[in-house]
């Protein structure tokens, strides 16, 4: 087994941020699955798993659903930040490291994209409507 990749405090801070990003999405739920915090759409379809040193791999990471064809190109582009996760990698999922000073805006976008890979169209439409309402309510700067 490898050394723990991050401190408990860092792990909890990362989990809090991932949880906030995932739970902001329509009908997202969280529960443990295979010992890891996992987020589901409508309690059924998994879109993100949070792993801390999974089977001694030395990584604090997310495993996320990814659009077809994205996994290989992203891993090729940045193999230090992205990886082929065990078990779900064969289904096109992507591993995302959180133990290397992640860009949290990018992580939020990745969580949202993972959600969109498995969510029904009606829930994605709700997200789009909410984003449009938020944009309509922003000050215009006049």
In whole angstroms, what is the distance from residue 110 CA to residue 62 CA?
10
In whole angstroms, what is the distance from residue 121 CA to residue 106 CA?
23
Q: Is residue 29 part of a domain?
A: yes
Q: Is residue 2 part of a domain?
A: no
pLDDT of residue 134: 65
Total domains in the chain come to: 1
Structural domain including 118 reads 8-136
Q: Is residue 142 part of a domain?
A: no
Contacts 24+ apart (CB under 8 A), 128-131: 130/26
In whole angstroms, what is the distance from residue 41 CA to residue 28 CA?
5
Q: Kindly give the confidence (pLDDT) of every residue in the chain, 142 residues in length, as a single tens digit, with 9 standing for 90 and above.
A: 455 668 999 999 999 999 999 999 999 999 999 999 999 999 999 999 999 999 999 999 999 999 999 999 999 999 999 999 999 999 999 999 999 889 999 999 999 999 999 999 999 998 877 766 766 766 665 4
Alpha helices in 55-120 (DSSP H): 70-77, 104-118
User: CA dist 103 to 88, 92, 97, Å?
Assistant: 24, 22, 10
pLDDT of residue 132: 67
Q: Sheet containing 36-41: which strands, arranged edge to edge?
A: 28-33, 36-41, 45-52, 60-64, 94-97, 82-83
CATH number of the domain encompassing residue 121: 3.90.1150.30
51 strand-pairing partners: 61
Q: Is residue 1 part of a domain?
A: no
pLDDT of residue 2: 53
pLDDT of residue 15: 98
């Amino acid at each position: 087994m490898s050394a723990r990749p991050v401190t408990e405090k860092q792990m909890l801070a990362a989990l809090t941020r991932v949880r906030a990003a995932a739970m902001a999405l329509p009908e997202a739920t969280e529960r443990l699955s295979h010992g890891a915090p996992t987020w589901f759409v409508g309690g059924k379809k998994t879109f993100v798993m949070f792993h801390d040193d999974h089977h001694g791999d030395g990584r604090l990471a997310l495993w996320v659903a990814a659009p077809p064809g994205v996994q290989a190109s992203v891993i090729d582009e940045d193999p230090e930040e992205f990886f082929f996760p065990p078990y779900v990698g064969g289904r096109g999922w992507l591993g995302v490291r959180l133990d290397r000073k992640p860009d949290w805006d990018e992580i939020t976008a990745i969580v949202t994209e993972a959600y969109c890979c498995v969510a029904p169209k009606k829930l994605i439409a709700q997200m789009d409507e909410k984003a449009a309402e938020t944009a309509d309510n922003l000050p215009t700067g006049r």
